[in-house]
Amino acid sequence: MQPTRTTAMQACIDACIRCQRTCLHEAMTHCLEAGGEHLEPEHFRLMLDCADICRTSADFMLRSSALHGLTCGVCAQVCERCADSCDAIDGMQACADTCRTCAEHCRAMATAH
* Rounded mean pLDDT, 1-24: 87
Contact yes or no for 67/19 (Cβ under 8 A): no
pLDDT digits (tens, 9 = 90+) for 32-86: 999 999 999 999 999 999 999 999 999 999 999 999 999 999 999 999 999 999 9
Give this prediction's pTM.
Answer: 0.93
Domains observed in the chain: 7-112 (1.20.1270.360)
C-alpha closest to that of 55 among 38, 72, 32: 72
pLDDT digits (tens, 9 = 90+) for 22-39: 999 999 999 999 999 999
Band (pLDDT 50/70/90 cuts) for residue 94 is very high
- Encode 34-69: b = buried (16+ Cβ within 10 Å), e = exposed: eeeebeeeebbebbebbbebbbbbbebbeeeeeebb
